[in-house]
Amino acid sequence: MLLQIHEPGETPLPHAEDKGAAVGIDLGTTNSVVAVAEAGRTTVLRDAQGSGLIPSVVAYGEDGTVQVGAEARRELLDHPQTVVSSVKRLMGRGIADVKSLAGTLPFELDAAAEGGMVRLRVSGRTLTPVEVSADILRAVQARAEAALGRTVKRAVVTVPAYFDDAARSATKDAARLAGLEVLRLVNEPTAAALAYGLDNQAEGLYAVYDLGGGTFDISLLRMEKGVFQVRATGGDAALGGDDLDHAIAEAFLADRAKSLGEVAITPAEVKQALATGRMAKECLSASPWGEWLIEIDGKTSRHQLDLKTFEALAAPFIERTITLCRGVLADAGIGVEDIKGVVLVGGSTRVPQVRRRVAEFFGREPLANINPDEVVAVGAALQAEALTVGSETLLLDVTPLSLGIETMGGIVEKVIPRNTPIPVAMAQEFTTYQDGQDAMLIHVVQGEREMVGQCRSLARFVLSGIPSMAAGAARIRVTFAVDADGLLTVSAKEAVTGVEQEISVKPSYGLTDDEMAHMLRDSLVHARDDMETRLLAEARVEAVRSLLAVRAALSVDGDLLSDEEQRAIHAALEAVETAVRDAGRDGVQAAAADLEAATKTFAERRMDRGIRAALAGQSVERLGERFGEEENSN
């Protein structure tokens, strides 16, 4: 028997919990990868055949068995009704986001789940995307434990940079369900840059073009002496290689309908068509032509596709990625000539057309000395080592979209602008709108537009218990905190009483495909109109505030005015009311200015009355002594 000898003070506690190894996991749409880092050296954990890829496919048997990976992918052709694939595209999303093929969804959905999280009916079970992802993560964990010979309980898990709060929360829930502690969620492009930068001692400004099976991200990172700072990020959480498979399958089914007639297809047959589309895409990445068979309802159809036709089908999706690249460069205020290199990430970047178009746009060949399928997991493993053992590297990521609060008039006041480094906490002070207001509704929104109706609503909560004060006297400090995982917490605190409310923002499901892709574009297209709308709303809010203040003053000190003066002020009040209802910004401001002029004398008389009331009963001698004391104290 061997004795373990420890330095003084370093003896482990008896029965101390074994936390196990910490790994990096790339939970992908098409494939998942797990890696480990020790002493700065990374290893992708492989199966007996030497493959590091675990297909993100799960087969649920009628007998309750669960198969994940290559075995499940084989079931896709024979028993497609038992298989779930590309579930990452459903994380944090609703039923309206599920994409159909030939009018049919690739899944059988639970009808009771309408309007909420997607729930799938598979082999007599009802499953959420979180549960399916947990099964994938269990398989990833099992591979890691088999390869390392020890338990694996902790992981850094990567997510697309454009995953919203709901999708990030769903990913953490899936890991928790699989028995994994998530040390951190890291954006996929950031993880890739970390792996590439450390391996190659790279410094300078790099673009990371990440086109996976279901998501696309483009990030600009500056690498300097172990610091990896994201300058800007963009993307689409519903754009990837699956869309190319979908386009091919649509073309095949259209050809089939011409030769065999229109035939209704089932969700299982949709999965077969998509699997055929994926095989065609992969074959055409190496061959100029191919032929494939589709069997539906006992009828087999033969389909030919050449490279030129495939590239025509793929072009619109690839161009969408280039448009997003252009937008991120504009956000960062830099040109393509400032980019030192382009790192390709994701299996879909193996398509030659993608590489050519990226090279054309950036004016240089992308860096090809990394494995695009494995580099994200390698970066995650390095971050896992940094969080458990320590490291000299520093990751500085950013928020992809602005976060703000609704103010009077439906105006968005941005608290955290997009592309702000995280983790971050920012606060602003707000106040009450009416006299005696004892509560405030806090409405949290996300997006780049100026008005609430044009942005995404994230959460609402009420801060109650505000002391009764005049309008504008209360001070409510609203704090937005985004953690290192990109998850948002909002709190509101009233300064006088200390009453406070806090909410962790967790929408029921995430942004729709179009919302996430178009938010930034719409903010640029409509920037001028949005600002005009905002300025009009602000003018109306200020005018109504003046109306309330003047009416309150008249109720208290109206006796200071003659009948004629009162009529003039009431006429000015009516003019403001009409302008707020019907006029533009200039009309509202003009009416408000007329009201201010009409009440100037009234304001002076009220001030005089207030001063006389304050001085009532005070002798001149006593006032002189008080002023003398104040001067001496100063």
Is the separation of the CB atoms in 302 and 291 below 8 Å?
yes
Interstrand relation of 456-464 and 421-422 (parallel, antiparallel or unpaired): unpaired
330: left (phi over 0), alpha (psi -120 to 50) or beta: alpha
Task: Read off the DSSP letter of residue 3.
Answer: P
CA distance 108 to 252: 22
Which of 79, 71, 170, 173 is CA-nearest to residue 122?
A: 79
The helix/strand/coil state of 190 is: helix
Task: Tell me the two tokens of residue 280.
Answer: 């065609």
Q: What is the 3-state secondary structure (H, E, C) of 255-318?
A: HHHHHHCCCCCCHHHHHHHHHHHHHHHHHHCCCCEEEEEEEECCEEEEEEEEHHHHHHHHHHHH
Cβ atoms of 289 and 266 closer than 8 Å: no
Q: Please answer whether residues 451 and 498 qualify as being in contact, where contact means their C-beta atoms are separated by less than 8 angstroms.
A: no
Joined together, the tokens standing for residue 272 give 């077969």
Taking Cα atoms as reference points, which of 472, 500, 505, 469 lies closest to residue 487?
A: 505
Distance CA 191, CA 53 (A): 17
Given a contact cutoff of 8 angstroms between Cβ atoms, the answer to whether 346 and 210 are in contact is yes
Q: How many CB atoms sit inside 10 A of residue 398's CB?
A: 24
User: How far is Cα 362 from Cα 339, in angstroms, rounded to an integer?
Assistant: 8
The answer to whether 191 and 219 have CB atoms below 8 angstroms apart is no
Q: How far apart are CA 369 and CA 375, in angstroms?
A: 11
Q: Is the bond preceding residue 55 a cis peptide, omega within 30 degrees?
A: no
Q: 430 Cβ partners below 8 Å, 6+ apart?
A: 405, 407, 413, 440, 476, 478
> Any idea what the Cα angle at residue 265 is, between residues 261 and 270, rounded to 5°?
120
Distance CA 26, CA 195 (A): 13
Inter-residue contact 421 to 231 (CB < 8 Å): no
DSSP E strands, 417-521: 421-422, 424-430, 439-446, 456-464, 476-482, 488-494, 500-504
Where does 53-126 have alpha helices with state H?
A: 70-78
The residues that are catalytic are: 26, 88, 188, 210
In whole angstroms, give the CA distance from residue 234 to residue 207.
11
Torsion angle (degrees, nearest 10) of CA 485, 489, 495, 501: -150
**Phi and psi torsions of 260, nearest 5°:** -115, -5
Alpha helices for 490-526 (secondary structure H) = 513-525
Could you tell me whether strands 66-68 and 456-464 are parallel, antiparallel, or unpaired per DSSP bridges? Answer: unpaired
